Amino acid sequence: MLDFVKCIAKEAGSLIVDAFDKPLSFHEKVSYADLVTDTDQQAEDLIKSRILEKYPSHKIIAEESASGRSLLTSEPTWIIDPIDGTSNFVSKFPFCAVSIGYFKDKQAQCAVVYNPISDQMFFAERGKGAFINEKKLIVSQCSDLHNALILTDWGGDRNAANLDTKAANIRRLISEARGRPVCKW
């Protein structure tokens, strides 16, 4: 199964590489930070068709075509984001990826995150660990927020109320991690 997912991620990634240095047309989905391109749709269509050719009874939840009410069930299900980081892709910032996960009984069985621009493939399979380009990843032994590296993203919904809430949550996390308050944004 994992080899199949890796192959279709590479195939979809080639669409991203082909479009990366070309002018792109895009439109907003929810906000100016939540974008979709023709390449998103082409990559999603390719991934879905490959999956359904091999597994016609499997359910697919895909970012560009899923309704907001798509729920993960116990059925064999694929979760797809054809270009995770579309804003980066549109901006020619080389941090975007094809993300594909396979779930059964509501549990991840395998997943691939492939950045075709840098040709980095992160993948994992239940019970076998996580890897980057065939090299096993070593999990951090950090169990304390105080010493943890925390990364965040604003996400696609950037209205003022949500940004204020997100900034407040980040300040709270930083304050808890370092034991002192952080200046107001």
**Binding-site residues for Mg(2+), please?**
63, 81, 83-84
Q: Phi, psi at residue 89, to the nearest 5°? A: -60, -50
**Amino acid found at 49:** S
Both tokens of 124, joined, read 């994992």
Task: Cite the annotated binding site by residue number.
Answer: 63, 81, 83-84
Q: What is the C-alpha to C-alpha distance for residues 127 and 65, in angstroms, rounded to an integer?
A: 31
Task: Summarize the chain as % helix, strand, coil (round to 5).
Answer: 35, 25, 40
3-class DSSP state for residue 104? strand
Q: Which residues lie below 8 Å from residue 32, measured CB to CB, with a gap of 6+? A: 158
Q: Burial level of 123, CB count in 10 A (0-12/13-18/19+)?
A: buried
Q: Are 100 and 123 in contact (CB under 8 A)?
A: no
